Amino acid sequence: MRRRDFIAGITGLSAAWPFAARAQPAKLPTIGFLGTTTASAWGPWTAAFVQRLRELGWIEGRTIAIEYRWAEGRSERFAEIAAEFVRLKVDVIITGGSAAVAAKQATSVVPIVFVLGEPVGTGLVATLARPGGNVTGLSNQQTDLPGKRLELLREVLPDLRRLAIMANVDYPEAVLEMRDVQAMSKTLGLEVATLEIRRAEDISPAFEALKGRADALYVITDALVSTNRVRINAFALAARLLTMHGVREYVEAGGLMSYGADYSDLFRRAGDYVDKILRGAKPADIPVEQPTKFDLVVNLITAEALGLTVPPSLLARADKVIE
């Protein structure tokens, strides 16, 4: 090769290098979003999270990428999805409930932000003030919530004597809440029956076994229950049972009442956690926060189907009345 041709070739390559470098897109910070149920069930919460990120300058597809995965109420999927996120080298994982436990087992390095659950009792964090490790987030647990829900049930049904509790006993936080409800029910002099479920196929037999042994049903929130909330409410209505839930979406799906933390607000606040972590904060140094907004929701359509009259004083306090 002639020297002049060689130099011309090198010059051409050098000129092309800056363009080639610019053609390689920079990897966007990536969030692994592990939803425990379905995209539709988590729709309002996901929207609140994404909206808060946008307000903070993180725009999906432009300044940040979000990898969504949905476990569809199958707890065995939690570990699979968490492992996939580790392989994808996401920058932070956001999830809820027992899925956060699976994520923590999958990685001690990738930051994890949980929304919902009882983080100290399940070993997610050392303390609320100083989480330690790679996990932080927002708890939806309040020790007085079961008592308030029972009070609300008795406002609607003053003669309440027999209570059934439905819980997914494979979900540690559901077991903790079930024990709290049992203890408070005993204090109130209520007879208690427990409906222990582990999979969707257990729901129908649980109602069959109950047969006239309860006046109301206290439903403990988790991914399995969320996925089957319409079926549970239908069974309860057929059995003439008042239902008390912890999430407004369950009442929108035919339940009678719910009282609990505003999940959309919690997911919105989770956006602040992710923002801090992506800007360099360590999860160990970000305290776990408690709910600040609570919802009371009443479904008058369900009340009418049960032949109930909801006291006007309760309706006046409700954040939402479905009619």
CA distance 290 to 141: 7
CA distance 178 to 314: 25
CA distance 287 to 272: 12
| Superfamily name with CATH number, domain 30-140+263-291 | Response regulator (3.40.50.2300)
Collect all residues with Cβ–Cβ distance below 8 Å to 210 and sequence separation of at least 6: 164, 193, 195, 239
CA distance 317 to 187: 25
Q: What is the CATH number of domain 145-261+295-322?
A: 3.40.50.2300
Fill in the DSSP letter of residue 34.
E
CA distance 191 to 168: 20
Q: Which two tokens stand for residue 258?
A: 């719910």
What confidence score (pLDDT) does residue 308 get?
95
Confidence of residue 152 (pLDDT cuts 50, 70, 90): very high
CA distance 319 to 84: 39
Please choose, from the candidates 200, 206, 204, 205, the residue with its C-alpha nearest in 3D space to the C-alpha of residue 222. 200
Collect all residues with Cβ–Cβ distance below 8 Å to 240 and sequence separation of at least 6: 306
Confidence of residue 73 (pLDDT cuts 50, 70, 90): confident
Half-sphere exposure of 189 (CA within 13 A, CB side): 5
**Is residue 18 classed as helix, strand or coil in its secondary structure?**
helix
- Outline which parts of the chain fall under CATH 3.40.50.2300: 30-140+263-291, 145-261+295-322
Q: Which two tokens stand for residue 272?
A: 């602040």
CA 28 to chain centre: 26
Tell me the per-residue pLDDT of 19-65, one tens digit each, with 9 for 90 and over: 444 444 578 999 999 999 999 989 999 999 999 999 999 999 999 99
CA distance 194 to 232: 15
Q: Quote the strand ranges of 106-157, DSSP E.
A: 112-115, 135-138
What confidence score (pLDDT) does residue 121 get?
75
What confidence score (pLDDT) does residue 19 get?
44
CA distance 36 to 42: 9
Q: What is this structure's pTM? A: 0.82
Percent of the chain with pLDDT over 70: 91
What confidence score (pLDDT) does residue 22 get?
47
Tell me the per-residue pLDDT of 218-268, one tens digit each, with 9 for 90 and over: 999 988 998 999 999 999 999 999 999 999 999 999 999 999 999 999 999
What confidence score (pLDDT) does residue 320 get?
96
The 10 Å CB-count burial string (b at 16+, else e) for 81-103 is bbeebbeeebbbbbbbbbbbbbb
The 10 Å CB-count burial string (b at 16+, else e) for 132-145 is eebbbbbbbbeeeb
For the chain, the C-alpha Rg in angstroms (whole number) is 24
Q: Which residue type does 18 have?
A: P
Confidence of residue 181 (pLDDT cuts 50, 70, 90): very high
Fill in the DSSP letter of residue 64.
B
Q: Is 220 within 8 Å of 174 (Cβ atoms)?
A: yes
Confidence of residue 7 (pLDDT cuts 50, 70, 90): very low
CA 137 to chain centre: 12
Confidence of residue 126 (pLDDT cuts 50, 70, 90): confident
